[in-house]
Structure 1
Amino acid sequence: MGHMQHFSAGWVSPVLAYAMACVGSALGLRCTVRALAADGRSRRNWLLTASIAIGSGIWTMHFIAMLGFGVTGSPIRYEILLTVLSLLIAMVVVGAGVFTVGYGAARVRSLLLGGLGTGVGVAAMHYLGMAAMRLHGHVRFDPGLVALSVVIAAGAATAALWAALNVRGAIGAALASLVMGLAVSSMHYTGMSAVRIELTPSRAPLDGVTPMEFIFPLAVAIGSFLFLTVAFVALSPTARERAESASAESFREAELPASS
């Protein structure tokens, strides 16, 4: 049995991972709220942005946390194809959840289905990311803890979506993203506590890349994209603000001929 360390990089990896999960969630939930105020192509684009933001936020969180993961007695490598696939799966499955919320007619049902979809997306990404891991030995999972991690993810994702849609203003948005960030992080560490590793010591080279060669640069790129997009979305006017400025404009235009 391999002895595992989850925090070999100290407190930096869990704190940074949680921050990334919150940033991705903040952006995704904000876009979901914007989508509900829009329609047509605009709604679809907001929902697509939400899916990409939450999906890539979850992925970045997972792999930043994994930078602190080590096993005594074996190096760890990651297979590139499965790692990239886990990123795409996160976006697609979370997307299904987000679109359910965006287009669902029955509010409560679409919220529950959306939360379930998003939670399953988090879990699917996590376990696919784990399947990309290569070491000298076998990785097994405790089924009870795996099930618990999926329940945590779905429950907290539903709570976050509910908060984003029902609690108005900046406080509601911040609260929802903190809940969602906590959901992703607690799901991750519950999922990691389900891991059992049986080592088969070997000197053979492992397939794949080290986290620093591939995952770290990708996480930095996605992180930067998320931060920039958060700033853009936060600064761009909402549909209501646009409507208000348009009505103020038309009101001024109506007044101008009268005063001349």
Structure 2
Amino acid sequence: MFEGHDPYLVALSVAIAILGGYTGFGLAARIRGTPDASHRLLLAGAAGFLAVGIWTMHFVGMLAAPLPAGTVYLVLPTIVSFLICALVVGISLFFVSIGEPSLLRVVCSAVLLGLGIASMHYVGMHGLSGPFAMEHDVSMVALSVVIAIAAAYGGLRAFLARRGGVQLILSAIAFGIAVSGMHYTAMMGMHLVPPAGESHHHIDGLSASPQILSLVVALLCFVIAAGFLLSLVPDPRRKAAAKSAAVAASVAEADALQADIPATEAAVASAGMRLRPTPLGGLGQPPRAAPAPRLPVESADGTHFIDTADVRSVRADAHYTKVHDGTRERMCPWSISEAEAQLDPSLFLRVHRSHIVAIPHVTLVRKEGDGAVIELDGPSPHRVPVSRAKIAEVKARLGLVRRHA
């Protein structure tokens, strides 16, 4: 059944799966560590783009197949196949985006997602109606399910791992090829045979011609391409924040030169840091312990250590904390007070009773309600609330407050 496929449509189906995977994983990578409202929105967007990519790839592949004349697509099974795909993708992403996912949870989510992809394929296949009967090779069915589960596991591991742009592209390519491989493996095991004892074929239910399906698929291809292109557009807020920081540093340096402030003090002032006077003779103040160069974080395979230079924020979570490294949150066995005592105060600031942030990684600060909110950079930028009592100190540390002698 694989012979006779249109090579251009086959290539298009693979490209659609890759673009859908890139856009979906790009959104999914931002789920962990975001506020609840953004969490739900990103989860829905990631599940939607992945489901549309997988489903569209399937039907582009069906249009590439040499089906007999008079073949139509039953509307109900076709819609049900998409709903199955969207549901299992959403559930799988949800289970691996809450808390610190264990290996067992990731494997179970991958099995669910793989079975959902395979179910979507075979439900969509049996949406075909024409002067034929459909048979499947059991060994090819089993192989296609294994490929679907492997593709799902690789995709879930892709967005759980710390990944940059190049790694995300490679993961999307691998996922797109794997999903396409599952489809065409299943197609190789499908055989269309003449119906037994029937001279005329009757269509039960609402149906659509291949031409109508082509229009629907073309529209969804446009949606996926638009989402992919939008994901490549840089966030203008980051540029504006970087420009503001550069301007603030230049102003502080100019003020320092006019006041004949030493270069070291000017650099500290440009960063908004506070210069704390040392008591006379250094008496009455115990020496502070050296800041910890690394923070312990827990994962399914043990305790890891990350450099404080990679830490964006620390969030209190009961007697423990969650450390965000710009990509995702991981649990730290330290309390929020212990983390504050261990981190370098010249780089970190407690902006809320439950949040500590790395000042050098701040890209946006904005008034919100009685307090404020700041955004921290990284592959998955995230926002942290600032209490009203800390707004002035945050602005001073960011060089947004002009100080006069």
Q: Which TM-score applies when normalising by structure 2?
A: 0.57
CA distance in 2, matches of 1:258, 1:235: 37
AA partner of residue 232 (structure 1): L
Match of 2:107? 112
Counterparts in 2 of 1:259 and 1:18: CA distance versus 1, 3 Å: farther
CA distance in 1, matches of 2:102, 2:159: 13
1:69-148 map, 5 Å: 69-72=65-68, 74-148=69-143
Gaps of 5+ in 2: 239-311, 313-325, 328-360, 366-373, 376-393
1:240-251 map, 5 Å: 243-246=362-365, 250-251=395-396
CA distance in 1, matches of 2:67, 2:217: 22
Match of 1:26? 22
CA distance in 2, matches of 1:244, 1:119: 39
The reply on whether 1:224 has 2:222 as its aligned counterpart is yes
Q: Secondary structure at the match of 2:133?
A: strand
In the alignment, which of 148, 169, 174 is matched to residue 153 of structure 1?
Answer: 148
The reply on whether 1:211 has 2:210 as its aligned counterpart is yes
**Conservation of the 8 A alpha-carbon contact between 1:95 and 1:118:** no
The number of equivalent residue pairs is: 254
**Conservation of the 8 A alpha-carbon contact between 2:2 and 2:188:** no
Higher relative contact order, chain-length normalized (CA < 8 Å, sep 6+): 1
Counterparts in 2 of 1:253 and 1:120: CA distance versus 1, 3 Å: same
Match of 1:257? 402
Bigger mean CA deviation after superposition, 37-46 or 16-25: 37-46
**Conservation of the 8 A alpha-carbon contact between 2:2 and 2:184:** no
CA distance in 1, matches of 2:99, 2:398: 39
Match of 2:171? 176
CA displacement, residues 108-143 of structure 1 (integer Å, 9 cap, x when unaligned): 223222222221221111111101000212112122
AA partner of residue 34 (structure 2): A
CA distance in 1, matches of 2:199, 2:67: 14
AA partner of residue 149 (structure 2): A
In the alignment, which of 49, 52, 55 is matched to residue 45 of structure 2?
Answer: 49
Give 1:161 shift.
Answer: 2.1
**Conservation of the 8 A alpha-carbon contact between 1:116 and 1:157:** yes
Q: Which TM-score applies when normalising by structure 1?
A: 0.87
Give 1:106 shift.
Answer: 3.2
Q: Secondary structure at the match of 1:256?
A: coil
Gaps of 5+ in 1: none
Q: Secondary structure at the match of 2:31?
A: helix
**Conservation of the 8 A alpha-carbon contact between 1:18 and 1:61:** yes
Counterparts in 2 of 1:6 and 1:103: CA distance versus 1, 3 Å: farther
Q: Secondary structure at the match of 1:229?
A: helix
Give 1:258 shift.
Answer: 0.8
CA distance in 1, matches of 2:159, 2:45: 16
CA distance in 1, matches of 2:106, 2:396: 39
| Higher-strand-fraction structure | 2
CA distance in 2, matches of 1:58, 1:14: 14
Q: Secondary structure at the match of 1:63?
A: helix
Give 1:180 shift.
Answer: 0.9
CA distance in 2, matches of 1:243, 1:80: 50
AA partner of residue 12 (structure 2): L
**Conservation of the 8 A alpha-carbon contact between 1:99 and 1:114:** no
